[in-house]
Amino acid sequence: RFHGEGYQEGYAEGSHVGVVEGRRYGSLHGAQIGSEIGCYLGFALTWQCLLQKCMDEKSSKKIRALDSLIRMIQKFPYEDPTYDKLQEDLEKIRGKFKQVCSMLNIQSDFRIGTERSSLTF
């Protein structure tokens, strides 16, 4: 009887602690992903505006790549944490961002740390 009651109490306490820890972990990592995606979107929109003035062949390729990155970001499912391809889509966005940076001849380094986050060029 005591064994069963102890098991039930332990299970209930562990479930509660697990929910609290999961919520904290999800909030932290969700914020980091949101920050990263937000930086990519701001970067892409800024460069899109800068390149609109130039209409040569090289600029049009860069603008198409930027448009593609912006569409990918806009389609990203922010509201659905159960989306099964979340990591896969995030990796595609990161890859497209790296491609755009390469086309623009920009070194990018996106880091999120506990002390600060930064995007350097």
d(CA 41, CA 78): 14
Identify the residue with better confidence: 103 or 110: 103
Q: pLDDT tens digits for 64-81? A: 999 999 999 999 887 777
What string of DSSP letters covers 23-37?
HHHHHHHHHHHHHHH
Residue 34 has a pLDDT of: 87
Give the per-residue pLDDT at 120: 52
Give the contacts of 16 (CB within 8 A, at least 6 positions apart). Answer: none
> Average pLDDT over the chain, rounded to whole?
84
Confidence band (pLDDT; 50, 70, 90) for 114?
Answer: very low
Ranges 2-11, 34-43, 95-104: which has the least confidence? 2-11
End-to-end Cα, the chain, rounded Å: 65
pLDDT at 121: 47
